[in-house]
Amino acid sequence: MRYSGLRVLLEGLTGNKGWERAWREPEPKDEYDIVIIGGGAPGPPPAHYLSKDSGEPNVPVPEKGWLGSGNIGRNTTIIRSNYMLPGNEPFYELSMKLWENLEQDTNYNSMVSQRSILNLINTDGQRAAYVRR
């Protein structure tokens, strides 16, 4: 199924009854080479790209709820580079690049919108945390 703005509008006006199921519920296998734990913000992109790029078609993403549940599914989550440790920067930069192309690769609007963040420092503890970052 192809998604479009027009289709979303029409489905919204008709009670969203015309959508096909977009996922399946497969039985777990006895063995996997790769398992991604958690279906929040960090989980789906590496699972998709590992499956696509490695030729491993079965990369499970076990999640106690549904994929994208929790904060990422309710309102917002932060997908950002974390500079706390020197080795983190390239890892998180690559993760952000994966998110940038995920919607086009999967034809699914994950509603990623890159924005800035402004942190206000109100206490000495917050200032110390800012300096660490």
Report d(CA 49, CA 57) in Å as an integer.
10
Give domain status of residue 43, yes or no.
yes
The reported pLDDT for the residue numbered 122 is 92
The pLDDT value recorded for residue 77 is: 65
Structural domain contains residue 40: yes
Total domains in the fold of the chain: 1
Q: Is the distance from CB of 71 to CB of 34 less than 8 angstroms?
A: no
Q: Where in the sequence is the domain holding 61, given as residue range(s)?
A: 33-112
H-helix segments, the chain? 5-13, 44-54, 71-74, 88-106, 124-132
Taking the C-alpha atoms of residue 45 and residue 106, their distance in angstroms, rounded to an integer, is 10
Residue 75 inside a domain? The answer is yes
Cα-based angle 78, 79, 81 (whole degrees, multiple of 5): 115
Per-residue pLDDT of the chain (133 residues; tens, 9 = 90+): 677 889 889 988 998 888 887 777 778 888 888 888 887 777 778 888 888 887 777 888 888 876 666 666 655 666 666 666 777 777 777 777 787 788 888 887 777 777 777 778 999 999 988 887 7
- The residue count for the chain: 133
Q: For residue 125, what pLDDT is reported?
A: 92
